[in-house]
Amino acid sequence: MSQNKNYSLAKSKVPELLTRLIKKGDEVWGPMAGENGDNFFGQLSSEKELAGDYINGYLGAKRFVFPQIEEMFNYKKSKSGLELSQPVEMPRAVIWGIRSCDMSAVNYFDSFFGKGTKSGPDWKSGDPLPDPLYEARRNRAVFITIGCNVAGPKCFCVCTDSGPFLAQGFDIQLTDLGDRYFVEVGSPKGEEFINEFKEYFTPAQEGDQHARRTLENESEKTFQQPISFFAKAMRRMDQGHLKPEFWQKVADYCIGCGGCIYVCPMCSCFDVDDKALGENEGMRYRSWDTCDFAGFTREVSGHNPRATRADRRKRWFYHKVSMDYLEKNPVIGCVGCGRCVIACPGGIDMPTVIRWMRKTDSENPKP
């Protein structure tokens, strides 16, 4: 970004800005304080609900782009036949204070949910098409990210190139400089937003850009778990060093709760079901699902291609870090947010298993 695209935003003005947005009818999402000192990403009904300085909670901004339960359409049966509802227009959403890792996960979603040629003459059978539900949410959102001056205790985004600050992929990026934010613009949408609220954004102060760089360097020194070096682990997987014994060892620690997938900002598998809302109407909806559950792949005959917990653990790591998937989409399926480290009761989170992978070869199949 060129120099003149940088601004300054006084922290004291933020409550007023957010209040204006909410009054105007925009959906404003941000980190909210939970009851037990935790926090989660949610829709604010008042700027007062905003959490102060926070470490990413379990539920991140994935809840906005890919809600846990989302209506796909409504159906209605009447004398004249079946009718399906069309999607309704929703207001702009301002996603305030999303962390770099979660923003990176949204960018990954773009390459998956948003993928495909548009329908039309160039559409070939078999080509994936973009996901209309995701696109609608993505298109109406302005993402205002915030860089992390200090890493959380379980974070490892330095290993996945998804933080603590971003070079691109945001609409607006904020850096906390004490009494003000240093503001970088990353997209036309971000520029538009700033133009709309000019009175809050003043030209960046002398030296702020430099301060932002220094903060990034300092932040990188605060990581407590920079242990997730993926490259060697990926080679081990790719070259066939990880034998069934390896996955069995991982599975021995897994209780099959699916927690890792629930908290993962990059997991996007879902179930589809219908729910009756009366005798003649109802909705089709999707809800988060996980490859960790046996029912995810069990066929009607009872045949299950991933029948054991070891099969399913392998699947999760394979999808995230195998070269095979990288061929299709050149981003690994982990943004280093550290949530699985906190969530997994068995201690077989991403950085741990990556470390096991690195230390495993055909001669020593068990980590």
Ligand X SMILES: Cc1cc2nc3c(=O)[nH]c(=O)nc-3n(C[C@H](O)[C@H](O)[C@H](O)COP(=O)(O)OP(=O)(O)OC[C@H]3O[C@@H](n4cnc5c(N)ncnc54)[C@H](O)[C@@H]3O)c2cc1C
- Interface with other proteins by CB under 8 A: which residues? 72-73, 75, 77, 81-84, 87, 112-113, 116, 118-120, 123, 125-133, 268-274, 276, 282, 284, 286, 289, 291, 296-301, 303, 305-306, 311, 314-315, 318-319, 322, 324-325, 327-328
Q: Please, which residue, 198 or 303, has the CB nearer to other proteins?
A: 303
CA gap 68, 65 in Å, rounded: 10
Q: If binding is defined by CB under 6 A, does position 126 make contact with ligand X?
A: no
Q: If binding is defined by CB under 6 A, does position 186 make contact with ligand SF4?
A: no
Q: Please, which residue, 15 or 87, has the CB nearer to other proteins?
A: 87
Please give the sequence-ordered ranges of beta strands (E in DSSP) within the chain, or none if there are none.
Answer: 6-10, 27-33, 39-43, 69-78, 81-84, 93-99, 141-146, 172-176, 180-185, 201-203, 270-276, 281-288
Which range touches ligand SF4 (CB under 6 A), out of 82-90, 180-188, 218-226, 253-261? Answer: 253-261
Q: Could you tell which of other proteins, ligand SF4, ligand X, none binds residue 302, using a CB distance below 5 to 8 A set by kind?
A: ligand X
Nearest 5 degrees, angle CA 102-CA 311-CA 243?
105
Which range touches ligand SF4 (CB under 6 A), out of 38-46, 222-230, 238-246, 258-266? Answer: 258-266
The answer to whether 318 and 309 have CB atoms below 8 angstroms apart is no
* H helical segments located in 227-275: 230-238, 244-252, 259-263
Q: Are strands 39-43 and 27-33 parallel, antiparallel or unpaired?
A: antiparallel
CA gap 95, 118 in Å, rounded: 27
Main-chain phi, psi angles of 88, to 5 degrees:
-100, 150
Q: If binding is defined by CB under 6 A, does position 303 make contact with ligand X?
A: no
Range 199-228, binding ligand X (CB under 6 A) = none
Q: Please, which residue, 305 or 330, has the CB nearer to ligand X?
A: 305
Which among 6, 1, 197 is positioned nearest to 96, based on CA atoms? 197
Which among 16, 18, 52 is positioned nearest to 33, based on CA atoms? 52
Q: Please, which residue, 73 or 197, has the CB nearer to other proteins?
A: 73
Which range touches ligand X (CB under 6 A), out of 95-103, 176-184, 275-283, 292-300? Answer: 292-300
Least distance in angstroms from the C-beta of 273 to ligand SF4? 22
CA gap 190, 84 in Å, rounded: 35
Point out which residues bind ligand SF4 (CB under 6 A). Answer: 254-260, 292, 343-346, 348
Which residues contact ligand X by CB under 6 A? 295, 298-300, 302
